[in-house]
């Protein structure tokens, strides 16, 4: 028996070895340098083309309406599914039952291969309004595109997500845990209760959704309403971007337009529930460390219950956004009897226009390292900043414009001068003039650069800063004179802030001008000098001059100058 068994094994070895080699070869198939194109026309099947495609192939779908569930399985890495250029290609997922999508958690398009692209379609979602409220309110059910954990590198680009008139769809893009490097770019999303959302299946062992980029999209966000199944309270749902757990969430250059009416909204009761917001992150609930790396920049957010909610976690920035006409502009941390209570931490909130909200910034629960400066916080009807942190942690809100040169109103609304700030808010010193709006309409002209023995450029402020040593330097531009008037004023006013001057030996500030500007003002170019505002009067800098060849006014700041390096904690400069 032993000899016969060995003989049979020896007979099988060549075939067995060949099978192993074939499997290894299949697993390591590279994406082709010259992909094949598959063209799909009406009455043909997109899924059939997907099934026939090899890794890296391109499927081009031509004008028409297609109604079929689509699945991109493992082994289709690098596949591109796109509408033919200039043609109206509709993917209609409004009849899930007719498409054979029987499970509520199934995606109409399910992706489980890496580096897939979905591009250029009009996508009609399933109307959820007839479903039970518990199904409507959860991003888990009825997703349009569902990225499974094997869909790293998914790109959803240039699509229009729509719904039938009078209806609401669920998630445009649902990303499952441990799916990384997803991009959602230049899409229009209208009528979806959830725009882009991430979801955990196992909260005890979360892997995270890392490197999510949401850029250049327009989200028209509805509110759908129901009764919370466990509390019996009124509840509203409508979300642009939500991430439960992960790192490096980047949301830039998007427009978020909600359906919330400040005058008639039903959710001003703090005990009610309204999850109607542009961006919310919950990156701390399922981790022992405060993580997040959140980057929310250059977005417009209006007519929402909440603009940006860092409801747990942090570590990043909310920068250069225009957040106006909302119930709440920014919420930091959360204290809740329903969801977990968690803090926000390590955030820079810089260069935002927070205007005409009911609450500009609502601080619910914070810990360390939140830096909130160089924002326009004005016209918010109840509070510019309301701090209700349960531990009474002080909220740093220095160097902001509060809508009045005399600063904020301290105490109960309505304001006597600037926006109201509550207790436990550090608001001094404040800016005495508004900051200049960005040309693109989001945020204000403010930026930070770091460098060592180099020139740092701030083109939006017409400023260059030459660093001798090393430092991080903030430069912002005022819309008007933040001090008293002075003769020969050039009309440019900047604020220079250096958080830590210990690594500096000298800072040279260069404010650029044009010959036409100086000629129009009737000024002698050779007499131009830089001034600084000492809090009471404009004072000429002690080491200043003009470079008439390169058209900039300069001031060198050292330990022995006026102003000195130690004065660069929000120092205002002008020129005359």
The pLDDT profile of the chain, 576 residues, written as one tens digit per residue, is 222 223 333 333 343 333 333 333 334 444 444 579 999 999 999 999 999 999 999 999 999 999 999 999 999 999 999 999 999 999 999 999 999 998 999 999 999 999 999 999 999 999 999 899 889 988 899 999 999 999 999 999 999 999 988 899 999 999 998 899 999 999 999 999 999 998 877 667 777 888 999 999 999 999 888 887 777 778 888 999 988 777 888 999 999 999 887 665 554 445 556 788 999 887 655 555 545 688 999 999 999 999 998 877 777 899 999 999 999 999 998 776 555 677 777 889 999 999 999 999 999 888 878 889 999 999 999 999 999 988 999 999 999 999 999 899 987 655 558 999 999 999 999 999 999 999 888 999 998 999 999 999 999 999 999 999 999 999 999 999 998 888 888 889 999 999 899 999 999 999 999 999 999 999 999 999 999 999 899 999 999 999 999 999 999 999 999 999 999 888 899 998
Kind and range of the H or E run holding 517: helix 515-521
Asked whether the CA dihedral 331, 337, 338, 339 is positive or negative, the reply is positive
Cis preceding-peptide flag for 15 (omega within 30 of 0): no
Kind and range of the H or E run holding 511: strand 504-512
Q: How many CB atoms lie within 10 A of CB 56?
A: 19
Whole-angstrom Cα distance, residue 302 to residue 348?
A: 21
Grouping H, G, I as helix, E, B as strand and the rest as coil, residue 30 is coil
Which pair of structure tokens corresponds to residue 539?
Answer: 């004072």
Q: What is the DSSP string of 87-111?
A: --EEEE-S-TTTTT--STT--SEEE
Whole-angstrom Cα distance, residue 98 to residue 518?
A: 71
Interacting residues of 501 by C-beta distance below 8 A, sequence separation 6+: 471, 565, 566, 568
Check if the beta carbon of residue 162 is closer than 8 Å to that of residue 172.
no
Whole-angstrom Cα distance, residue 255 to residue 298?
A: 9
Cis preceding-peptide flag for 241 (omega within 30 of 0): no
Check if the beta carbon of residue 501 is closer than 8 Å to that of residue 471.
yes
Asked whether the CA dihedral 519, 521, 527, 528 is positive or negative, the reply is negative
Query: Which neighbouring-strand residues pair with 82?
Result: 60, 119
Instruction: Read off the DSSP letter of residue 461.
Output: G
Residue that has been written with the tokens 């933040």 in this structure:
482
Which pair of structure tokens corresponds to residue 358?
Answer: 């009911």
């Amino acid at each position: 028996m032993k000899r016969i068994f060995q003989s049979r094994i020896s007979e099988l070895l060549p075939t067995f070895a060949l099978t192993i080699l074939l499997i290894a070869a299949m697993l390591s198939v590279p994406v082709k340098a010259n992909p094949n194109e598959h063209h799909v026309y009406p009455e043909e099947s997109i899924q059939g083309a997907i099934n026939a495609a090899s890794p890296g192939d391109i499927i081009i779908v031509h004008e028409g309406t297609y109604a079929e569930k689509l699945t991109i399985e493992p082994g289709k890495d690098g596949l591109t599914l796109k509408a033919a250029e200039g043609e109206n290609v509709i993917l209609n997922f409004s009849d899930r039952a007719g498409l054979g999508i029987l499970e509520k958690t199934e995606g109409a398009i399910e992706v489980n291969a890496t580096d897939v692209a979905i591009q250029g379609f009009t996508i009609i979602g399933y109307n959820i309004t007839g479903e039970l409220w518990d199904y409507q309110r959860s991003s888990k059910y009825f997703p349009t595109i569902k990225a499974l954990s094997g869909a790293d590198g998914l790109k959803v680009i240039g699509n229009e997500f729509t719904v039938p008139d009078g209806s609401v769809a669920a998630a445009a893009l649902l990303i499952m845990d441990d799916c990384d490097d997803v991009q959602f770019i230049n899409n229009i999303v209208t009528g979806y209760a959830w725009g882009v959302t991430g979801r955990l299946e196992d909260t005890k062992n979360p892997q995270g959704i890392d490197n999510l980029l949401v850029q250049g999209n327009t989200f028209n966000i509805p509110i759908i309403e129901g009764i919370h199944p466990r509390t019996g309270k009124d509840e509203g749902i409508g979300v642009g971007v939500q991430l439960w757990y992960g790192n490096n969430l980047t949301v830039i250059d998007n427009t978020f337009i909600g359906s919330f009416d400040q005058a008639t909204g039903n959710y001003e009761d703090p005990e009610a529930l309204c999850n109607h917001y542009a961006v919310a992150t919950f990156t701390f609930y399922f981790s022992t460390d405060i993580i997040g790396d959140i980057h929310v920049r250059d977005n417009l957010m209006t007519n929402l219950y909440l603009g940006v909610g860092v409801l747990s976690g942090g570590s990043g920035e909310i920068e250069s956004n225009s957040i106006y006409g909302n119930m709440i502009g920014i919420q930091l941390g959360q204290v809740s009897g329903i969801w977990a209570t968690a803090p926000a931490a390590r955030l820079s909130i810089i260069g935002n226009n927070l205007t005409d909200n009911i609450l500009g910034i609502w601080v619910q629960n914070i810990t360390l390292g939140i830096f909130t400066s160089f924002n326009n916080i004005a016209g918010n009807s109840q509070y510019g900043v309301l701090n209700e942190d349960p531990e009474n942690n002080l909220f740093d809100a220095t160097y902001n414009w509060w809508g009045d040169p005399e600063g904020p109103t301290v105490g109960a609304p309505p304001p006597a001068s600037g926006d109201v700030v509550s207790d436990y808010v550090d608001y001094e010193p404040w800016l005495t003039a508004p900051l200049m709006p960005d040309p693109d309409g989001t945020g204000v002209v403010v930026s930070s650069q770091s460098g060592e023995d180099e020139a740092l450029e701030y083109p939006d402020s017409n400023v260059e800063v030459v660093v001798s040593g090393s430092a991080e330097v903030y430069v912002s531009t005022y819309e008007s004179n933040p001090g008293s008037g002075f003769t020969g004023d050039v009309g440019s006013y900047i604020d220079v802030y250096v958080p830590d001057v210990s690594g500096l030996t000298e800072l040279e500030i260069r404010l650029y001008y044009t010959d036409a500007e100086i000629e129009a003002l009737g000024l002698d170019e050779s007499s131009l000098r830089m001034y600084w505002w000492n809090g009471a009067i404009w004072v000429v800098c002690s080491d200043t001059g003009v470079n008439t060849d390169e058209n900039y006014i300069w001031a060198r700041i050292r330990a022995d100058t006026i102003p000195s390096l130690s004065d660069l904690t929000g120092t205002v400069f002008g020129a005359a």
